[in-house]
A and B are shown apart, each in its own frame.
Chain A
Amino acid sequence: MAPSYPPLPPDLVEFVQGGRSLIVGTCSAALEPECVRGVGLRVWPCACKLTLLIPNEPGAQTIANLRETGRVAITLSYVPTLKTIQLKGRVLAIRAGDEADHALARRYRELFAPELAFAGMAPAHTSRLAIWPCCAVEIDLDVVYAQTPGPTAGEKLPLAERA
């Protein structure tokens, strides 16, 4: 399938694959919203597609919604500066997480703990964030918005030129 949206620029690719605070929004067909913490995000080489990891138990409703509607919103924030962006996209596939995904989730949790410590959360608690078993949700990127608190929150971010 051809990329449907211009790719993420390199700085945003780096940003979203760090230990950012990662939250995921979905809704059911009956328009009931749901939110959950994601536990890892991988950008595909084309930079137009993503793999999002969602833990099975706390994310059960989210995964059900994704199967039902296929629409997802992902917000990532760097806690020390509150630089925040929101990605929106559509689900391409949902599969059980594999070993590579498990490794990504473990790495994510290690990187996330010091960022959340900036908000005062003890790393001992963050290290208990449930990451496994998880689902891997493959997503086609639709659009990216600035969401750092302030008057420009909600503006579309410029993306890279398509190769």
Chain B
Amino acid sequence: MTIQLAELDRCFHGIVPGMIATCDREGVPNISYISQLHLIDEKHVALSCQFFNKTRQNLDENPLATVVVYDPLTFDAFRLRLRFLRAETSGPLFDAMAARIIAIASHSGMTGIFKLRSADVCEVLSLEPCRGFLEPPPAGQRVVVEHPEGPLTELRGLQMVSERVNRACDLETLLSSALAALDEVFGFSHGMILVPDDTGQRLITLASHGYGDDGIGAEVKLGEGLIGVVAQTRRLLRISAVESALHYGRAIRAEVQASGGTLTAEIPLSGLPDAQSQMAIPLIMQDRFIGVLALECKDTLTFEQWHEAFLQVLANQIAGGIDRMSDDDDEPEEPEPTAPAPETAARSHSFLYYRNDDCVFVDGEYLIRNVPGKILWKILRAYETEGRTEFSNRELRLDPSLGLPAFKDNLESRLILLRKRLEQKCPDIKLVPTKRGRFALSVSSKLALAERETA
């Protein structure tokens, strides 16, 4: 039976580390574990070179190598005979392999220390199972491995998710229905969609599924962790056996510390603290970065190679949807209703606005900042001084003090974030969409507003 390299996808995740044997020109052998083996195509794989080690020195002297990888579900072993062809230090292959290491290094507090030196490309001369490696299973027992149902089934699933995304009439529905459908159809139980903030240096969680309400508004710095690296490199990233990868990173961290190296703090995972599989896909429209779709799971092997293609298709559709709904959605201006503000209950909230960074606190607790902070303050001031409760996207766009860009201002995203943050921190105050391009402020408590220059 001939085995294809693609069939061994789950052996390449590093869950049970593989091994590589090389030898120098004098015939002195070397045996080492493999941290990452990257499948390029049916005839080529790439080894990751993080440190200029003996394996790499030997390959420069004698290009032959033998690798054994293990199936993490069955412990079956497969032997690959390789011939080293070249070391790539730039280009798409290098970038793809480097992104994974940058993400792990970032979580391990080793950005810039633990990094890819080269992607060492090898031709696969032969591939075979390691015969006799395992004893037969005991009589009456069979090794059962559940196989995914395969691309045809998943293609139908993709069609279903795609239809839901297409049917959404507003951005909030689009984001929530996309994440819910990914769970329902594919079982991806935890997902987030993040968009860049006004500075472009952070991403803010605009929609989440599986984390409760706490996920909305969570921030990730550009370049930090899996999501931050995907945003920075604009490259899809999939990490299986997250704990193993972090374990490897921590082992290096301990060695660096022991040898006197300076390190930064470890960065916790941004979503599930015990995530075992993560995948993050950049949302790109034309050449513009729209955000990141991030999925994670507690199972080690949730995301496989073929998931990348169809999630990329879906990500393109979400990016298009966000982009489309960020266009001007204003209705023609109508006279503002001057209905008096609703009666307020005995409860009260104190809002404090810091002018230097447009940051708003409610009852002493951080609520929101930047453009959404300015929007909230404008609305609350209008309510306090004029008793207004009806607002339009158009008037926000025309207000120069808010500083919205003239093109693709992401106003809808900012309003969703503001609405969600109010739901979490101050549910007495709501922003209620009334019709396309308009919303109402609903207040059921007394408000006290104050401003300061700085904290």
Contact = CB atoms under 8 A, between A and B. Distances in A.
B38 interface: no
Nearest to B65: A33
Given A82-B248, A151-B256, A151-B261, A128 B28 contact: no
A47 interface: no
Interface in B77-101: 77, 81
Interface in A148-163: 148-154
B133 interface: yes
B145 to A, nearest CB: 11
A130 B66 contact: no
A26 interface: yes
Given A128-B135, A151-B261, A25 B21 contact: yes
Interface residues of B, number: 55
A120 B241 contact: yes
B25 interface: yes
Contact of B259 (A25, A73, A81, A152): A152
Interface in A33-90: 33-37, 55-58, 69, 71-75, 77, 81-84, 86, 88
B133 A31 contact: no
A73 B244 contact: no
B229 interface: no
B251 A153 contact: no
Contacts of B259: 150-152
A31 B25 contact: yes
B51 A35 contact: no
A17 interface: no
B302 interface: no
A33 B134 contact: no
Interface of B: 15-17, 19-23, 25, 27-33, 35, 50-51, 53-54, 62, 64-68, 70, 72, 74-75, 77, 81, 130-137, 143, 241, 244, 247-248, 251-252, 254-256, 258-259, 261, 300
Given A75-B31, A151-B259, A153-B51, 12 more contacts: A23-B31, A37-B133, A57-B131, A71-B28, A82-B251, A86-B32, A119-B17, A119-B72, A148-B255, A149-B248, A149-B255, A150-B256
Q: Which 5 A-B pairs have the closest CB atoms?
A: A150-B255, A57-B132, A25-B31, A35-B21, A125-B75
7 contacts: A25-B22, A34-B66, A88-B28, A119-B17, A119-B72, A128-B134, A150-B251
